[in-house]
Amino acid sequence: MLKWVLIAVGGGFGSVLRYAMQGLIQQTLPGKLFPLGTMCVNLLGCLLIGILSGYFAGPRGLRIPQDYQIGLLIGVLGGFTTFSTFGFETFKLLNGGQYALAALNIVLSCGLGLAAVWFGYRLIERLYGV
């Protein structure tokens, strides 16, 4: 039960942090057309999930209970950016020598994700004339 609470609380915190950081970066830096704030958040999330998962997995890793590890990785970083999870899962495939599966994950996640956004938008546009 604690794990679920930590995921929920961490996810809320991560989402608020993402919204604040993305907005601050987007307003502060030049180039309002490019989603620089989102890219920075995604890259930071990937860096943080790499650092934390490395610490947790290493022989001298941070010794915190697994529920709290899950709360940080899935809750906080999942709320901050799911792109970090995508990056970490793809890294695990590459690190395990599963190059074809890693490439497939990249192509399908990005390609089908964009296709799903396009399809959903066009569907509503057609149904409701948006």
For 20-45, the pLDDT digits (tens) are 999 898 888 776 777 788 888 989 99
CB 6 within 8 A of CB 66: no
What does the pLDDT read at residue 53?
A: 87
Q: What's the pTM value of the predicted model, to 2 decimals?
A: 0.78
Residues contacting residue 25 through CB under 8 Å, at least 6 positions apart: 36, 37, 40, 41
Q: For 82-116, how does the pLDDT look when each residue is reduced to its tens digit (9 = 90+)?
A: 788 889 899 999 999 999 999 999 999 999 989 99
Question: In 3D, which of 13, 70, 78, 17 has the Cα closest to residue 46?
Answer: 78
